[in-house]
Structures are given as C-alpha cells and as structure tokens.
Amino acid sequence: MSDFGLGYEVQAIDGAARRGRLTTAHGVVNTPAFMTVGTAGTVKGLTTDQVEASGAEIILGNTYHLMLRPGAERVAALGGLHKFMNWPGPILTDSGGFQVMSLEDLRKITEEGVTFRSHLDGTPHELTPERAMEIQELLDADITMVLDECTPFPATEPVARESMERSMRWAARCREAFTRRPGYGLFGIVQGSVYPDLRRRSAEALIGIGFDGYAVGGLAVGEGQQAMFEVLEATVPHLPTDRPRYLMGVGKPADIVGAVKRGIDMFDCVLPTRSGRTGQAFTRRATLNIFNARHRDDPRPLDPDCPCPTCADYSRAYLHHLFKAKEMLGPILLTRHNLHYYQQLMAGLREAVAAGRLEDFIAAFEHQANEGDIPAL
C-alpha cells in the first residue's frame, strides 16, 4: 500500500487477463473480484457474516441511497459505514450518479452538478462533484467513485461527446476535492457510450488527471454483450497497466468471464441477490427457476458440486416449497447460494489466470453452461 492511495500489484497475466492484489485501509482484495452490492448499508436478507462466508472480500454501498437515508453525517457520527453495518472489510461506494440520472423528471443537470428530488419524500437535494466526495469520505469508503453523468443509451455521438466531456470536467473537480490518505483511493470513470474514439479520449483525459483506479461506465444498459465486449476491446488498451480496472454494473456470469478475458479486474451487480429474492438460482449448468414444478418432489440440492450452506443442507423441493409459501427463508437461502456461486466463479478465474490456463477455464465454463440442468427425476 502506498503512502497515499491504494496499493495494487499485478501478480500474473494470461493474455489480457490479470491476477492481482488490491490493498486498502480495511484489507486486501484479490482480483478479479466480484463486489457484492449492499446499496443501503445491507446486502438484502443476509448478515455480514454470511456475506463474508460466501468468499466476498469487498462490498459496494451507494452514495445516493445513504445520503437520503440515514444520511452521511449520521453514519459518520456513528463511526462510519464499516462500523454501522458491521463490515470490517473494504467498501467501495458508487457516487450515486446512476441513481440520480435515472430519476428523469425529478432531476436537472447543470455544469455545477445535479439537482433532484428524493424518491422517498420529494425533498430537494443537490449533488455536486465536491459534495459527492464529501459524502463518501463521511461514509469512510475505501474506494470512492467520481460523480459522472451517465450517458443514456442509445445516444448519438454528439450527445455522448457532450456528456463525456462534462463527466471529465466533473472528474477533475472530484480529484481536487478528494482527501488523499493511506489506504483510500479515488477511481475515475471512462464514458463515451459505444463510440471508440470517445472512449479513448475519456481514458486519456482521466489518465491526465490521475486516479488510483479506472472504471468503465455506461455499459450494461441495453447495448448487448457483443457491443459491450467491443467497447472493452477499444477501451482497456488505453488504461494504465498498474491500476485496477472496474466494469460497473456487470453482471451475468458469461459477461464477467468475457470481461476478465479482456482485462477487467473488478465487477459489481445486483443480479445474484435480486435473482435470489425472485426465485432464480445460478448453477454451473443452468440458471434455475425454483418456482418450476419439476423441483416440487426433488430431494437433490441446487448443485451437487456446490459447497455452499444452502446446497449442503436443503433440497430443491424445500426451496420450491418456501417460495410457493412466500416464506422469507426462501430468498435468504437462494441469495446465499447465488453469492457463493459468484465467488466460486471469481476464485476459479483467479486460479486459471495464475496458472496460465484461462482459455481452458473458459472452454469448460461454456461447455457446462450449454449442458443444461441435471435431468428431472
């Protein structure tokens, strides 16, 4: 760890993929890493002990939600977000820009920042680059994200260019307002929609400002996997090799595997937790709908090769029953399983990159995914 900022070491390379080690004030994150989303200071339905048991080393909180409730100043007065939610490990906080931009009729963007009305009670608020930095420092986030304008998709090149250029001006203001201290870092966010030249210009502008890590934003918004991968192939080569790279809001297991192959180190997504709450379970062979009647009399686990507590102790039939009966234990057990699946996937990717056999790992991953679920009884 550097005297100021984060420590990052690339330990192995396989093609464009990297195996790394990110050191923060609250611990180490091995990359490629999946960050479990705890938007409002909680991973829905789980204790932090259960999140840690899944293999998670870092979680994500959200500036927008926490500034509205319970309030950043209150969290700071109570000892910071780590103590408040009983998570001792590293925390990354999103700037809140994505949530604010999605308010549409409730917000207004100016050069100064974004004014908006709370979705909770309609009260007016202003989020500027400087205030976004202040809030995330009050939360005591190990990794702070710059405030950026989330470019809508689809967008014309002129619209995407204007949005990207404003985000770069905001990024410079964030860098100026950020308090540098050991173990804490600020990530810039590359924008530019699906236009390679805008992505290149955005990356170059951010590098000129200087950040502890670089995120790729504005993807997973409906552009499709092929377009996402094309943007990564046009963007990642322009990013520094000695800093972590973060693909925001991604995603599906196949998207993560493809992005690691293209040089991405960090990911976050609500998919494993949201899917767990709605009856979807990820396994090596298939994504299951636990409501399906085929599971009603099945005594087998979701995945016989999964070591998670849900698969060790509970059957598909029991999980099916819990969801049909609308028992709260059902979403909890399925969320635990999904988080374990994601962390096992990341551990497998790290091992494959370290061993120089990523292509073999990807081939096996795709073969299993094409097999489909185990035969019904």
Residues designated as active site: 94, 268
| Closest alpha carbon to 268 in 333, 189, 170, 178 | 189
- Helix/strand/coil (H/E/C) assignment for every residue in the chain: CCCCECEEEEEEEECCEEEEEEEECCEEEEECEEEEECCCCCCCCCCHHHHHHCCCCCEEEEHHHHHHCCCHHHHHHCCCHHHHHCCCCCEEEECCHHHHHCCHHHEEECCCCEEEECCCCCCEEEECHHHHHHHHHHHCCCEEECCCCCCCCCCCHHHHHHHHHHHHHHHHHHHHHCCCCECCEEEEEECCCCCHHHHHHHHHHHHHHCCCEEEECCCCCCCCHHHHHHHHHHHHHHCCCCCCEEECCCCCHHHHHHHHHCCCCEEEECHHHHHHHCCEEECCCCEEECCCHHHCCCCCCCCCCCCCHHHHHCCHHHHHHHHHCCCCHHHHHHHHHHHHHHHHHHHHHHHHHHHCCHHHHHHHHHHHHHHCCCCCC
| Cα–Cα distance, 54 to 18 (Å, whole number) | 22
